[in-house]
Amino acid sequence: MTSARRTAGTILRNEPMSKHTTWRVGGPADVYYSPRCRDDLLDFVRSLDADTPVYFVGLGSNLLVRDGGVRGAVIATGQALNGLRHLGGGVVEAEAGVPCTVVARQCSRWELGPAEFFAGIPGSVGGALRMNAGAFGGETWEKVIEVDVVDRRGDVRTRGRDGYQVGYRQVRGPLEEWFLAARFKFDEHYTAAADRIRTLVAERKASQPLGLPSCGSVFKNPPGDHAARLIEAAGLKGARIGGAEVSPKHANFIINTGGATAADIEALIGHVRDTVLARHGVRLDTEVQFLGEPLAGGGAS
């Protein structure tokens, strides 16, 4: 999979991805690499064989890793890509491994905004860029000026926002490139953020099953409606398959009640989608990203 070049950072082989996802499920990755810095990361990418699949992972939210694990190399961004800087003029540079909640709070300290919506995104900047994550009426790419990316050869380039097709919870751009950092433009002298963040965080705690293993919202909201409303109206709150359960607190969350497998969760996602389609005639699309393979002979849907 890799050449003989020595690479700094930590390389783990057959590493259970259940240790690195917020659902606490997932089979082993062939290689799990935690670089110490950006240069380590680039060296590692350059050392990989051209046919080795590569996946970047941040906080492991919004991600379902199947029980058979991941063939290829998983690169953890949190330690290496954790820089957050105010460049002046309302421009903020955030590297891919920075938690979105940190962006929200630091922008508040810098009196920049509106950035409060980042407090409602349970992942990192890299994941938010990949799917145009949003919360509380705001979306990531509304604020993007440009991004830094790395390709399969380990080459870094900067692309403007116009290099991507951005929609609701989806981003399309060049294949086999991964986000390293982004620069965002916010308004200056924005002083309303601190109180607003406290209010939004309190609302999340009251309405979402925080503290339980989940991925965040599972389904995208269909046009003109809310996935949670449709799921609840279909009588699916509390529905279970194995150790996976539709949260009784928020119907668009599926929680691991203890001992769930990725196959349990994927099967419950399929059951919810099928039931909502049968009851309401609406097909729900997932926000969650699927990664890896089911166990041999397993029953993933």
**287 given a catalytic annotation:** yes
Output the pLDDT for position 183.
98
Output the pLDDT for position 252.
97
**188 given a catalytic annotation:** no
Closest CA to 180 of 157, 161, 162: 157
182 or 205: whose pLDDT is higher?
Answer: 182
| Distance between CA atoms of residues 78 and 99, nearest Å | 8
| Distance between CA atoms of residues 101 and 193, nearest Å | 13
Tokens in use for 49? 């064989």
Task: Name the catalytic one among 15, 139, 266, 287.
Answer: 287
Question: Average pLDDT, stretch 201-209?
Answer: 81
Give the containing element (helix H, strand E) for 221: none
Output the pLDDT for position 230.
98
**Tokens 């962006």, residue located:** 103
Question: Average pLDDT, stretch 180-186?
Answer: 98
Output the pLDDT for position 197.
82
Output the pLDDT for position 262.
98
Percent residues over pLDDT 70 in the chain: 96
Alpha carbon distances (Å) from 19 to 28, 60, 199: 10, 9, 31
What's the pLDDT tens digit per position in 243-266? 999 999 999 999 999 999 999 999
Output the pLDDT for position 7.
66
Long-range own/partner contacts, residues 34-38 (CB < 8 A, 24 or more apart): 34/9, 34/10, 34/76, 34/78, 34/79, 34/80, 35/8, 35/9, 35/75, 35/76, 35/79, 35/80, 36/8, 36/9, 36/79, 36/80, 37/80, 38/80, 38/81, 38/95, 38/180
Task: Name the catalytic one among 38, 66, 105, 169.
Answer: 169
Beta strands 170-172 and 112-113: pairing type? unpaired
122 or 198: whose pLDDT is higher?
Answer: 122
Question: Average pLDDT, stretch 268-294?
Answer: 97
Could you give all domains of the chain from N- to C-terminal order, each with its CATH number?
A: 10-76 (3.30.43.10), 84-194 (3.30.465.10), 210-291 (3.90.78.10)
3-state secondary structure of 164: coil
Instruction: Give the CA-trace dihedral at 262, 174, 132, 241, to 10 degrees.
Output: -10
Spell out the residues 6+ positions from residue 170 whose beta carbon is closer than 8 angstroms to its own.
131, 132
Question: Average pLDDT, stretch 60-71?
Answer: 97
Task: Name the catalytic one among 217, 245, 247, 266.
Answer: 217
**301 given a catalytic annotation:** no
Output the pLDDT for position 3.
44
Stated pTM of the model: 0.91
Q: Given CA atoms 27, 32, 38, 42 in this order, what sign does their dihedral have? A: negative
| Distance between CA atoms of residues 93 and 86, nearest Å | 6
What's the pLDDT tens digit per position in 67-90? 999 999 999 999 999 999 999 999
How many residues make up the chain in this entry? Answer: 301
| Distance between CA atoms of residues 105 and 80, nearest Å | 21
| Distance between CA atoms of residues 163 and 173, nearest Å | 7
What's the pLDDT tens digit per position in 81-119? 999 999 999 999 999 999 999 999 999 999 999 999 999
Estimate the share of the chain in helix, then strand, then coil, as percent rounded to the nearest 5. 25, 30, 40
